[in-house]
């Protein structure tokens, strides 16, 4: 989730057209398309395998401060608490932020190739490990907290999370689980205009459950198997129907920037940010805010910054801002983190692959898309689809991405193109075994059903 950084006051919104223009301004020529990768991880104390709180001599605040001092980051604070780090004017900078339960996230810089993403992730892990090791802290790459209950999970001191903490249980059964006990990896990609955005969004939404199956890595809850391949994905199915899901309207005639704006305007607000303070507006209408009728700020009209903030509170499987966010994967280890951007770059940044992917999903019905989203969290690659299984579609998806990356021909110093990062996915479709399958086999075999072994198996 976003970490707010104060800046100049933005202009008041005078019309809906300005909201549409804001999204449309994200359009870029192909030469300027970039790759932004975000990934989260769970921190734990190595000596007793408990989650890391914010406070204390070896808490999250101390960890962030140590990373800042040792590696030249700038602190982001809220009410005197360090809640994130940013690195300005650095080609592989980005932002380190805190998720509600203390999950540490790197929102990477917009980079040209997956090779550069690999360098960025490697640098980030090096900085975090060097600092965390001195504090006795380790990190897990999983989609769902494998052992700790919700009550055992710490709460980070960010005001927007307190607003969500109150509001989320009103909208779904798993809102708090989503906030405090899930971790993901996502990639942010550019578009060339409305038609390009629409094609990429439709392909991304339709194939997001297939990506979920490929990256399934959350088979444990409260120390035991939970019956799911991706429990993180199941949690998202009952979090908040107003702001999650596969966006059925995206496949209807007339879809474009305007239609997405109308959708976003209909999603209830969470907050208003003023003078370093989050003001609870949960459940209120952004349309009313634009008219000066927001109960939390009577007579005040929404600014463009308010609109940008509001867009960050929408959580569909593919989110549109001034770029597209692919949001369907569980967090994982270093190879899985790189496989995610490689998969979507190969599919969406090569015209031939994108055209083939669009043809692949062209006749899928809304019922079939929703059926995949419902079945994949539990069944993963084994979920049935059109006389076969999701594994069959995954095989086609990975092959299209491999060919797309080969045509992109962005090579590293050893002459290898970006397709090399798809190796973990190629193995998964070949064997039919996801990361969750492997973890469950270990749990029932070598681990003798002792979940504590995961703190060495899934450690980053």
- Residue-wise pLDDT for 199-228, tens only, equals 999 999 999 999 999 999 999 999 999 999
The helix/strand/coil state of 234 is helix
pTM: 0.96
Residue 329, pLDDT above cutoff 90? yes
Give the mean pLDDT of 11-31.
97
Give the mean pLDDT of 334-341.
98
Whole-angstrom distance, CA of residue 266 vs CA of residue 19: 13
Q: Check residue 279 and report its DSSP letter.
A: E
pLDDT bracket for residue 88 (50, 70, 90) = confident
Please check whether residue 281 lies inside any domain of the structure. yes
Residue 293, pLDDT above cutoff 90? yes
Question: With contact defined as beta carbons under 8 Å apart, do 399 and 346 qualify?
Answer: no
The pair of structure tokens assigned to 358 is: 């669009």
Whole-angstrom distance, CA of residue 63 vs CA of residue 43: 11
b/e string for 69-95 if b means 16 or more Cβ within 10 A?
Answer: eebebeebebeebbbbbbbeeeebbbb
- DSSP H stretches of helix in 325-434: 334-348, 351-361, 366-379, 390-408, 423-431
pLDDT bracket for residue 30 (50, 70, 90) = very high
The pair of structure tokens assigned to 253 is: 């005639």
Strands 35-45 vs 137-140: parallel, antiparallel or unpaired: antiparallel
pLDDT > 70: percent of the chain = 97
Whole-angstrom distance, CA of residue 152 vs CA of residue 450: 19
Whole-angstrom distance, CA of residue 156 vs CA of residue 68: 18
pLDDT score, position 207: 98
b/e string for 134-156 if b means 16 or more Cβ within 10 A?
Answer: ebebbbbbbbbbbbbeeeebbeb
Please check whether residue 8 lies inside any domain of the structure. no
Query: To 5 degrees, how large is the angle CA 363–CA 34–CA 317?
Result: 40
pLDDT score, position 162: 95
Please check whether residue 6 lies inside any domain of the structure. no
Please check whether residue 10 lies inside any domain of the structure. no
> What's the distance, CA 147 to chain centroid?
22
Dihedral through CA 99, CA 105, CA 107, CA 108, nearest 10?
Answer: 180
Whole-angstrom distance, CA of residue 286 vs CA of residue 44: 39
- In which domain, by residue range, is 33 found? 16-457
pLDDT bracket for residue 2 (50, 70, 90) = low
pLDDT score, position 91: 61
Question: With contact defined as beta carbons under 8 Å apart, do 131 and 67 qualify?
Answer: yes
Computed on alpha carbons and rounded to an integer, the radius of gyration of the chain in Å comes to 21
Distance separating the N- and C-terminal Cα atoms of the chain: 21
Q: Check residue 419 and report its DSSP letter.
A: G
Please check whether residue 368 lies inside any domain of the structure. yes
pLDDT score, position 101: 97
* Mean pLDDT for all residues in the chain: 96
b/e string for 27-58 if b means 16 or more Cβ within 10 A?
Answer: bbeeeebbbbbbbbbbbbbeeeeebbbbeeeb
The pair of structure tokens assigned to 146 is: 């494998």
pLDDT bracket for residue 5 (50, 70, 90) = low
pLDDT bracket for residue 87 (50, 70, 90) = confident
Nearest to 82 by CA among 101, 103, 96: 96
Residue 4, pLDDT above cutoff 80? no
Whole-angstrom distance, CA of residue 224 vs CA of residue 379: 17
Q: Check residue 450 and report its DSSP letter.
A: -
pLDDT score, position 6: 57
Please check whether residue 3 lies inside any domain of the structure. no
Question: With contact defined as beta carbons under 8 Å apart, do 193 and 27 qualify?
Answer: yes
Q: Name the one residue in this structure whose structure tokens are 């009410």.
A: 79
Give the mean pLDDT of 120-132.
97
The helix/strand/coil state of 158 is coil
Whole-angstrom distance, CA of residue 371 vs CA of residue 384: 9
pLDDT score, position 95: 95
The helix/strand/coil state of 384 is strand
How many domains in the chain?
1
Give the mean pLDDT of 298-325.
97
Give the mean pLDDT of 101-117.
97
Per-residue model confidence as pLDDT tens digits over 151-182? 999 999 999 999 999 999 999 999 999 999 99
pLDDT bracket for residue 333 (50, 70, 90) = very high
Question: With contact defined as beta carbons under 8 Å apart, do 79 and 374 qualify?
Answer: no
Whole-angstrom distance, CA of residue 104 vs CA of residue 131: 13
Domain at 333, CATH number = 3.30.590.20
Q: Which residues, in sequence order, are CB contacts of 281 under 8 Å at separation 6+?
A: 269, 270, 271, 272, 289, 294, 295, 296, 297
pLDDT bracket for residue 3 (50, 70, 90) = low
Give the mean pLDDT of 191-204.
98
Whole-angstrom distance, CA of residue 109 vs CA of residue 87: 10
Q: Which residues of 63-156 form beta strands (DSSP E)? A: 74-78, 81-87, 94-98, 104-107, 137-140
Give the mean pLDDT of 114-143.
97
Question: With contact defined as beta carbons under 8 Å apart, do 382 and 391 qualify?
Answer: yes
How many other C-beta atoms lie within 10 A of the C-beta of residue 241? 10
Per-residue model confidence as pLDDT tens digits over 34-52? 999 999 999 999 999 999 9
Per-residue model confidence as pLDDT tens digits over 260-286? 999 999 999 999 999 889 999 999 999
Whole-angstrom distance, CA of residue 192 vs CA of residue 205: 18
């Amino acid at each position: 989730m976003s970490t707010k950084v104060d800046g100049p006051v933005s202009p008041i919104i005078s019309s809906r057209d300005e909201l549409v223009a804001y999204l449309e301004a994200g359009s870029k020529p192909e030469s300027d398309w970039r790759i932004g990768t975000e990934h989260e991880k769970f921190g734990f104390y190595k000596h007793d395998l408990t989650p890391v709180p914010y406070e204390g001599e070896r808490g999250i605040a101390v960890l962030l401060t140590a990373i800042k001092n040792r590696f030249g980051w700038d602190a982001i604070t809220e009410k005197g608490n360090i809640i994130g780090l940013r690195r300005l004017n650095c080609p592989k900078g980005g932002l380190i932020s805190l998720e509600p339960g203390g999950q540490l996230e790197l929102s990477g810089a917009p980079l040209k190739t997956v090779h550069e993403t690999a360098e960025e992730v490697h640098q980030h892990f090096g900085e975090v490990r060097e600092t965390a090791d001195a504090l006795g802290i380790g990190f897990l790459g999983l989609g769902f907290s494998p052992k700790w209950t919700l009550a055992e999970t710490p709460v980070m001191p960010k005001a927007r999370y307190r607003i969500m903490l109150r509001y989320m249980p009103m909208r779904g059964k798993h809102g708090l689980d989503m906030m405090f006990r899930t971790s993901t990896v996502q990639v942010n990609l550019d578009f060339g205009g409305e038609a390009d955005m629409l094609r990429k969004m439709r392909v991304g939404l339709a194939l997001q459950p297939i990506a979920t199956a490929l990256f399934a890595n959350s088979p444990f809850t409260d120390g035991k198997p939970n019956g799911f391949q991706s429990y993180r994905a199941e949690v998202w199915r009952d979090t908040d129907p107003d702001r999650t899901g596969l966006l059925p309207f995206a496949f209807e005639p007339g879809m474009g920037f305007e239609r997405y704006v109308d959708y976003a305007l209909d999603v209830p607000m969470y907050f208003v940010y003023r003078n370093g303070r989050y003001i609870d507006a949960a459940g209120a209408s952004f349309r009313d805010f634009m008219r000066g009728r927001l109960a939390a700020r009577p007579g005040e009209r929404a600014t463009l910054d308010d609109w940008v903030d509001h867009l960050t509170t929408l959580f569909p499987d593919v989110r549109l801002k001034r770029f597209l966010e692919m949001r369907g994967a569980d967090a994982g280890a270093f190879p899985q983190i790189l496989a995610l951007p490689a998969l979507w770059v190969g599919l969406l940044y090569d015209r031939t692959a994108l055209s083939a992917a669009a043809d692949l999903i062209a006749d899928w019905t809304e019922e079939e898309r929703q059926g995949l989203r419902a079945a994949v969290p539990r069944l993963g690659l084994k979920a049935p689809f059109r006389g076969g299984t999701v594994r069959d579609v995954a095989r086609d998806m990975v092959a299209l991405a491999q060919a797309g990356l080969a045509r992109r021909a962005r090579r590293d110093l050893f002459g290898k193109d970006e397709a090399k990062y798809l190796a973990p996915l190629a193995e998964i479709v070949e064997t039919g075994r996801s990361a969750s399958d492997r973890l469950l086999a270990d749990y029932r075999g070598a681990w003798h059903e002792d979940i504590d072994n995961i703190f060495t198996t899934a450690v980053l």
